[in-house]
Amino acid sequence: MTQIPDGWTPIHTFDYDTFEKLAGPIYKPPHQTEGEQRYGFLVEKRHCNPYGMLHGGMLSTVADTLLGSVVYHATSGVPIATIYLNTEFIGAAREGDWVEGVATLRKKGRRVVFTQGEFHVGDKLIASSAGAWAIIGA
C-alpha cells in the first residue's frame, strides 16, 4: 500500500466535521507554489465503488475542494460558491493508490473566477477538472 508523502498534512483540522473531513482525509503538501494548489489523498476502501475503483463522487469532492481553494486564495478568502464543476474521468485509481491533484487559476473577473486542475496516480493522468466560482462577498 502506498503511504502519505512526508510532510503532507490534513487540509482541515477544525473541531467540527466539515464535508471534506468526513470524505477525506485530504492532504496538502508542506509548501504550495504561488498561483496553484496541490492536494492529495490515499484511496481507502470506502472511497471505492463496488468494482474496487475510486468512486467518481470522491474525486469530484476533492476536485471541488482543490479548485475552490485556488479561488479562495485568489480572492483573499472572501465568500465564494461553485457555479459549475466539470470533471472528465480519464483513468482509474484503486484502493491504496495515492491520488494527487494540482489546480491553477485560469481567469479572475470581478464576480466569477475560473480554475482548472488535473489528478494523477504517479505519472498516470486519471482526471481533469475545470470550474467557475461566484465571488459572493463582492
Q: For 67-116, write each residue's pLDDT tens digit.
A: 999 999 999 889 999 999 999 999 999 999 999 999 999 999 999 999 99
> Would the pTM count as exceeding 0.85?
yes
Locate 135 and state its grid cell.
Answer: 465571488
Residue 138: band (very low, low, confident or very high) from pLDDT cuts 50, 70, 90: low
CATH class, 9-135 region: alpha beta
Q: Any idea where the domains of the chain sit in the sequence?
A: 9-135
Residue 129 neighbours by CB under 8 Å, 6+ apart: 63, 66, 67, 85, 86, 87, 88, 103, 116, 117, 118, 119
More confident residue, 20 or 66: 66
pLDDT of 62 higher than 80:
yes
CA atoms within 13 A on the CB side of 23: 21
